[in-house]
A and B are shown apart, each in its own frame.
Chain A
């Protein structure tokens, strides 16, 4: 006998509630902005509910939903970049010298990270912000393990290049 709409909604709600904290962690790691992350997870919930009938194996909900969150967050990074590129009112990013070198270098690394492609930012965030294993990252990106490793290497290489360009340098290879 088929599932009623109410039953489907109840199942979705339960699974989504259980996964929400983990999903929000993912979004905040990728987007580094609470408000953006909240919107991204909200959009992911809407998308997931729309696509809910297509998820046949509900035991795979967590990975399925996390992938949606990653994709939505990555798209938001792209949108943000487009807006920033076209936003004449936005002040140019300027690093503000800080009393501590640690904070200053963190700002420079974040700025360098912001100049990477969204795909690069995502893989760096998953590996270094969330400390995920490469196998888990491959699942989230929906790519083979070897591809995930290649992407991370390439992203880190581009990050180092950006840092060297900024003069924060001699980043050891």
Chain B
């Protein structure tokens, strides 16, 4: 290839890639963006504070994750008032969120105008709520994944696999108490920094959970996705607080099976739940274990009594500090509450819908307790199919969005339960629940 041929080849490459016209939705974006006050658009919602970096070598040596801390605080506050109204944020434009009634009077369909073209209602994934109540939804546009904050123009690309064409299938999306967003795509770990994602050296992140003190805890299988010869999975934990990584490597007695649930009660006790050993998609779904770690020793806990080791689908902590556990044995489903001294157990005889099993690859974090003490969890069917959201107010169980294909949910500081589904975003507001009750 001579010089002339090289130039002709370059021109041919240019012709195959250069587009003459911008897609119409980019014109829409101009309108969306410029309808926010200049200097206070989506990107300027992110206020940066100094971070610190940990070397990969140090992290690897510690046997836990390398955490690169890049925090941001959201200055735009998204506060919901009455149905159909959204309070203007103090530091940003008015979020354009409206609500449409559904057949269920307690459930409202969420319409977030700026994202109409980005947020395909049928293609939503994870959902998280920031410390200020802002609702963030992850979705896909074509094969590219992105993240958007409802009511605020703009979006952020997600995942490091987008350029290799690998479909992003994150399992976790959580804000730490300082407002940093952490995501676990395909078992890895990323944090949002400057509108772009930083990938951390980690694989096999099973669960991320926010402790009452604002510390984000994570749970990793180690070695990731691999069974040891004796069928025992090692567990590695980590915590992230103000840029400091707390090494809590292997604090829990390794147990057979697969870890899938994590919670930290206000007294600092770390609780880890899992399912029994074996292989296959639904192997040993009716057995598992619950381990309590107090910083010194780990001990197996049996909420259902001696000799019974249930599959612990998820764990959550209530505003009163009580631990909640969603469990299943071969024959029965259970919702347990531990107040620090004793367990209270509910079963299907008390109205608890049968708890399904989480297929491998799905996030375990599917239960949450709101500030009002209401317990929320995803109802999964016998084969792991999604059967809506369940709320327990201490008296009775109520099911919502049974046919919507709920993909994820989170409870806001005001007690609203926000869900991302196969049919868009929905919210169940506490005032609506109070009316029904």
Q: Which residues of A contact B (CB under 8 A)?
A: 5, 8-9, 12-13, 16-17, 20-21, 23-25, 28-29, 32-39, 41-43, 45-47, 49-50, 52-53, 79-80, 83-84, 86-87, 89-91, 102, 105-106, 109-110, 113, 124-125, 128-131, 159-160, 163, 168-173
CB of B157 within 8 A of CB of A86, answer no
| C-alpha spacing A45/B42, complex, angstroms | 11
CB of B38 within 8 A of CB of A86, answer no
Q: How far is the CB of B233 from chain A (nearest CB, A)?
A: 22
Question: Interface readout for B337-365 with A: 1 if CB under 8 Å, 0 if not?
Answer: 00000000000000000000000000000
Q: How far is the CB of A121 from chain B (nearest CB, A)?
A: 11
Option from A25, A53, A87, A172 in Cβ contact (under 8 Å) with B20: A25
| C-alpha spacing A37/B20, complex, angstroms | 12
Q: Which 7 A-B pairs have the closest CB atoms?
A: A129-B14, A24-B22, A90-B164, A128-B10, A172-B2, A83-B160, A32-B17
Contact residues of A: prevailing secondary structure: helix
Stretch of B23-31, B98-106, B269-277, B292-300 with 4 or more beta carbons under 8 angstroms from chain A:
B23-31
Q: How far is the CB of B19 from chain A (nearest CB, A)?
A: 5
| C-alpha spacing A34/B21, complex, angstroms | 11
| Nearest B residue (CB) for A23 | B22
- The answer to whether residues A13 and B10 also contact, given A25-B20, A169-B1 and a CB cut-off of 8 A, is no
| Nearest B residue (CB) for A168 | B1
| Nearest A residue (CB) for B196 | A79
CB of B20 within 8 A of CB of A21, answer yes
Option from B14, B25, B33, B38 in Cβ contact (under 8 Å) with A8: B38
Inter-chain contacts of A89 with B (CB < 8 A): 161, 164, 166, 186
| C-alpha spacing A170/B16, complex, angstroms | 25
CB of A50 within 8 A of CB of B44, answer yes
| Nearest B residue (CB) for A6 | B35
CB of A24 within 8 A of CB of B196, answer no
Contact residues of B between 142 and 168, Cβ < 8 Å to A: 142, 144, 153-155, 157, 160-164, 166
Inter-chain contacts of A102 with B (CB < 8 A): 9, 12
| Nearest A residue (CB) for B7 | A128
Q: How far is the CB of B367 from chain A (nearest CB, A)?
A: 30
Q: 13 additional contacts, CB 8 Å, given A25-B20, A109-B9?
A: A5-B38, A17-B30, A24-B22, A25-B19, A35-B141, A42-B154, A52-B38, A83-B199, A89-B164, A128-B7, A128-B10, A129-B10, A172-B3
CB of B164 within 8 A of CB of A20, answer no
| C-alpha spacing A173/B153, complex, angstroms | 49
CB of B1 within 8 A of CB of A87, answer no
Q: How far is the CB of B140 from chain A (nearest CB, A)?
A: 11
CB of A20 within 8 A of CB of B43, answer no
- The answer to whether residues A129 and B17 also contact, given A8-B38, A87-B164, A91-B164 and a CB cut-off of 8 A, is yes
B237 within 8 A of A: no
CB of A171 within 8 A of CB of B3, answer yes
CB of B163 within 8 A of CB of A50, answer no
Question: Interface readout for B185-198 with A: 1 if CB under 8 Å, 0 if not?
Answer: 01000000001100
Inter-chain contacts of A9 with B (CB < 8 A): 34-35, 38
CB of A16 within 8 A of CB of B7, answer no
B436 within 8 A of A: no
- The answer to whether residues A109 and B10 also contact, given A46-B43, A79-B196, A173-B3 and a CB cut-off of 8 A, is yes
Count residues on chain B whose CB falls below 8 Å from chain A CBs.
55
B13 within 8 A of A: yes
| C-alpha spacing A12/B9, complex, angstroms | 38
Inter-chain contacts of B231 with A (CB < 8 A): none
Option from B6, B14, B157, B196 in Cβ contact (under 8 Å) with A29: B14
| C-alpha spacing A62/B276, complex, angstroms | 63
Option from A37, A83, A173 in Cβ contact (under 8 Å) with B163: A83
B18 within 8 A of A: yes
Inter-chain contacts of A16 with B (CB < 8 A): 30, 34
Inter-chain contacts of A110 with B (CB < 8 A): 13
CB of A49 within 8 A of CB of B7, answer no
CB of B9 within 8 A of CB of A106, answer yes
Q: Can you report 6 residue pairs joining A to B where beta carbons are below 8 Å apart?
A: A9-B35, A29-B17, A49-B41, A80-B163, A105-B9, A170-B2
| C-alpha spacing A36/B35, complex, angstroms | 24
| C-alpha spacing A33/B157, complex, angstroms | 14
Option from A13, A34, A124 in Cβ contact (under 8 Å) with B30: A13
Listed residue (A42, A47, A106) with the most chain B CB atoms within 10 angstroms of its CB: A42
Inter-chain contacts of B196 with A (CB < 8 A): 79
CB of A47 within 8 A of CB of B18, answer no
B49 within 8 A of A: no
Q: How far is the CB of A156 from chain B (nearest CB, A)?
A: 8
Listed residue (A80, A106, A124, A160) with the most chain B CB atoms within 10 angstroms of its CB: A106
CB of B43 within 8 A of CB of A41, answer no
| Nearest B residue (CB) for A129 | B14
CB of B19 within 8 A of CB of A34, answer yes
Inter-chain contacts of A12 with B (CB < 8 A): 30, 34, 38
CB of B1 within 8 A of CB of A171, answer yes
Inter-chain contacts of A79 with B (CB < 8 A): 196
Inter-chain contacts of B141 with A (CB < 8 A): 35
B396 within 8 A of A: no
Option from A35, A41, A87 in Cβ contact (under 8 Å) with B144: A35
Inter-chain contacts of B13 with A (CB < 8 A): 32, 106, 109-110, 113, 129
- The answer to whether residues A128 and B27 also contact, given A24-B22, A89-B164 and a CB cut-off of 8 A, is no
